[in-house]
């Protein structure tokens, strides 16, 4: 016997999903929990609404929507944005994602005309558009933060031009360098990072809107028009690629991972330098923490955590690459998993950049200790070998002679600077009076007067060049 539907079943049918037309059963609660993304993609709301408004303006221009309809939808969307920004918007897990939460609210507010918003569009090109707008916005912010950090390094370099320190290879004292030169090495890393983000923008800032579900659409949409309204520099050229491409997400996370790697290297140095054993640097109190048991401790936790958080961001990169590797064209729901790693990498890198810019601005080199160490470990040995080579001794032989000199000093418990001319001459008759004046850290540093070298002249001119290029005060 066929039962007629009861009134409450009608209610159930009305509460069906926006995509629920072909479904007889409602979604299992566990599946809702498993498939929802609104708990995290709601942060895309401002971009989602901007994309929708551009889409509606275009639909009106193309005569697909009437003027009054478009106006009503745009007004509704703006009101929803206000609700979201003021915190009064009620996000619903059962509405799955940011798109459907907003669309549902739109029809609640303005009635069935709200249903026309999605004309000629799919969530597949919609989410691709939202994520691109979001990434573009975040890259602009990261570029600003990278610039602040670079400025801090240049300031350290400029204010401490007379500070000398040992330069290391293999973490063994190698040759004396200017502390400023060391600071500007970090400047270079973060400059390259900025260039990398800038370059990524070329691929990020392209509009996939109008690709629809995967094949394009039969509506006469003006894709160039929406792209222009949204500030994109062009439109994607293949709808199937456009809805499934997340290369720009992977690329952005990689760029974040690279920044973190550089910050982590810096952190490692700051952790070492702030130990009793190195004693090279005083970190600002506000960026260190104490111990709950040992009253004397000042721990470089921020640097340690920067090093640690680098691991998270590498994890984010592994996640996105792994998510993408097995996907057939075109959109697959796996792609929803792009967001959490992306958001995590971006949030982490932004916070790490902010806090490290403050550390770099506030740290103080301990110049006496650095100078003392700059002379240790026979750091002037290369200068002595170069001296002999300049006097015509083949460099390999000069290297051997100075090696023997070092062994001799080690036996005597001396440094090279303690040797007399007579002692030098025992190892080579090419040594003359002037070798003794070579034995100064400044002399050694300033002799490396070559582009990219550590001499004061080179470092000063590099600071000038950077300030000019970056427009630093
Ligand atoms: N939440 C989805 C995502 O992030 C939006 C696109 C859903 N598209 C679909 N056909 N189910 O990828």
Task: Say whether pLDDT at 8 is over 50.
Answer: no
6-11 contacts at long range (C-beta below 8 A, 24 or more positions apart): none
pLDDT band at 24 (very low <50, low <70, confident <90, very high): confident
Amino acid 27: pLDDT: 82
Task: Say whether pLDDT at 429 is over 90.
Answer: yes
Task: Say whether pLDDT at 7 is over 60.
Answer: no
- Residue to mutate, 333, 337, 341, 343, ligand 1, most ligand atoms under 8 Å from C-beta: 333
Average pLDDT over residues 32-36: 95
Task: Say whether pLDDT at 5 is over 80.
Answer: no
Q: Could you tell me the distance, in angstroms and rounded to a whole number, from the CA of residue 327 to the centre of ligand 1? A: 15
Average pLDDT over residues 10-15: 45
Amino acid 9: pLDDT: 44
- Residue to mutate, 335, 336, 340, 341, ligand 1, most ligand atoms under 8 Å from C-beta: 336
Q: Three-class SS of residue 4?
A: coil
What is 11-52 written as a DSSP string? HHHHT--TTGGG-SSPPPHHHHHHH--HHHHGGGHHHHHHHH
What is 441-453 written as a DSSP string? HHHHHHH--STTS
336 lines ligand 1 (CB under 6 A): yes
Task: Say whether pLDDT at 3 is over 80.
Answer: no
Average pLDDT over residues 127-134: 98
80 lines ligand 1 (CB under 6 A): no
Q: Which residue, among 222, 226, 232, has the nearest Cα to 63 in the 3D structure?
A: 222
Amino acid 23: pLDDT: 84
309 lines ligand 1 (CB under 6 A): no
The two tokens of residue 7 are 């009134």
Average pLDDT over residues 438-462: 94
Average pLDDT over residues 145-173: 98
Task: Say whether pLDDT at 6 is over 90.
Answer: no
The larger pLDDT score, comparing residue 230 to residue 436, is at: 230
- pLDDT (tens digit, 9 = 90+) per residue, 357-376? 999 999 999 999 999 999 88
Amino acid 289: pLDDT: 83
Other C-beta atoms closer than 10 Å to the C-beta of 297 total 11
Q: How high is the mean pLDDT of the chain?
A: 94
- Distance of alpha carbon 133 from alpha carbon 47, whole angstroms: 6
121 lines ligand 1 (CB under 6 A): no
- Distance of alpha carbon 121 from alpha carbon 113, whole angstroms: 15
Average pLDDT over residues 165-186: 97
123 lines ligand 1 (CB under 6 A): yes
Q: Could you tell me the distance, in angstroms and rounded to a whole number, from the CA of residue 222 to the centre of ligand 1? A: 23
The larger pLDDT score, comparing residue 441 to residue 2, is at: 441
Q: Using the atom order of ligand 1, give the atom closest to the CA of residue 338.
A: 4
Rg (CA), the chain: 32
291 is catalytic: yes
> With pLDDT > 70 as the criterion, what percentage of the chain qualifies?
97
Q: Using the atom order of ligand 1, give the atom closest to the CA of residue 335.
A: 12
Amino acid 214: pLDDT: 98
The two tokens of residue 244 are 């499934």
Average pLDDT over residues 4-25: 62
Q: Could you tell me the distance, in angstroms and rounded to a whole number, from the CA of residue 81 to the centre of ligand 1? A: 21
pLDDT band at 14 (very low <50, low <70, confident <90, very high): very low
251 lines ligand 1 (CB under 6 A): no
- Residue to mutate, 36, 41, 127, ligand 1, most ligand atoms under 8 Å from C-beta: 127
pLDDT band at 293 (very low <50, low <70, confident <90, very high): confident
Task: Say whether pLDDT at 11 is over 70.
Answer: no
Q: Could you tell me the distance, in angstroms and rounded to a whole number, from the CA of residue 332 to the centre of ligand 1? A: 8
Task: Say whether pLDDT at 13 is over 80.
Answer: no
Q: Could you tell me the distance, in angstroms and rounded to a whole number, from the CA of residue 321 to the centre of ligand 1? A: 18
- Is this model's pTM higher than 0.75 or not? yes
The larger pLDDT score, comparing residue 2 to residue 44, is at: 44
- pLDDT (tens digit, 9 = 90+) per residue, 183-197? 999 999 999 999 999
37 lines ligand 1 (CB under 6 A): yes
From 112, 170, 292, 437, the catalytic residue: 170
- H or E element in which residue 138 lies: helix 123-159
Q: Whose CA is nearest to atom 4 of ligand 1?
A: 336
């Amino acid at each position: 016997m066929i039962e007629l539907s009861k009134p409450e079943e009608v209610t159930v049918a009305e509460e069906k999903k926006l995509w629920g037309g072909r479904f007889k059963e409602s979604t299992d609660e566990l599946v809702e929990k498993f498939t929802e993304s609104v708990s995290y993609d709601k942060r895309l709301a401002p971009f989602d609404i901007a994309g929708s408004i551009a889409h509606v303006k275009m639909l009106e221009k193309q005569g697909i929507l009437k003027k009054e309809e478009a106006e009503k939808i745009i007004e509704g969307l703006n009101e929803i944005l206000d609700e979201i920004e003021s915190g009064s918007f009620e996000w619903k897990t059962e509405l799955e994602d940011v798109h459907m939460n907003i669309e549902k609210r739109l029809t609640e507010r303005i009635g069935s005309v709200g249903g026309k918003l999605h004309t000629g569009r799919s969530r597949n090109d919609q989410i691709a558009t939202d994520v691109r707008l979001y990434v573009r916005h975040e890259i602009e912010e990261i570029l600003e933060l990278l610039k602040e950090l670079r400025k801090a390094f240049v300031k350290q370099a400029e204010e401490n031009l007379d500070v000398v320190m040992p330069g290391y290879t293999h973490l063994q004292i190698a040759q004396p360098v200017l502390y400023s030169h060391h600071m500007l090495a970090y400047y270079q890393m973060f400059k390259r990072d900025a260039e990398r983000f800038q370059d990524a923008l070329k691929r990020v800032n392209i509009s996939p809107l109008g690709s629809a579900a995967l094949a394009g659409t039969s509506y006469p949409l003006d894709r160039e028009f929406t792209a222009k309204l949204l500030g994109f520099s062009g439109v994607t050229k293949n709808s199937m690629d456009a809805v499934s491409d997340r290369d720009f997400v992977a690329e952005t996370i990689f760029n974040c991972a690279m920044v973190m790697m550089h910050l982590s290297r810096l952190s490692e140095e700051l952790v070492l330098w702030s130990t009793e054993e190195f004693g090279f640097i005083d970190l600002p109190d506000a960026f260190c923490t104490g111990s709950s048991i040992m009253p004397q401790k000042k721990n470089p936790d921020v640097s340690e955590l920067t090093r640690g958080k680098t691991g998270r961001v590498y994890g984010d990169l592994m996640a996105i690459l792994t998510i993408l590797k097995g996907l057939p064209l075109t959109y697959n729901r796996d792609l929803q998993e792009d967001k959490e790693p992306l958001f995590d990498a971006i949030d982490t890198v932004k916070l790490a950049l902010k806090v490290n810019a403050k550390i770099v601005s506030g740290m103080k080199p301990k110049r006496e200790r650095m100078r003392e160490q700059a002379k240790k470990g026979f750091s002037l040995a290369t200068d002595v070998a170069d001296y002999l080579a300049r006097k015509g001794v083949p460099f390999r032989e000069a290297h051997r002679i100075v090696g023997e000199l070092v062994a001799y000093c080690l036996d005597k418990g001396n440094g090279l600077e303690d040797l007399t001319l007579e002692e030098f001459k025992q190892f080579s008759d090419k040594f003359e009076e002037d070798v003794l004046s070579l034995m100064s850290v400044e002399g050694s540093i300033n002799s490396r007067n070559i582009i990219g070298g550590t001499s004061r002249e080179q470092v000063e001119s590099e600071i000038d060049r950077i300030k000019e290029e970056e427009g630093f005060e």
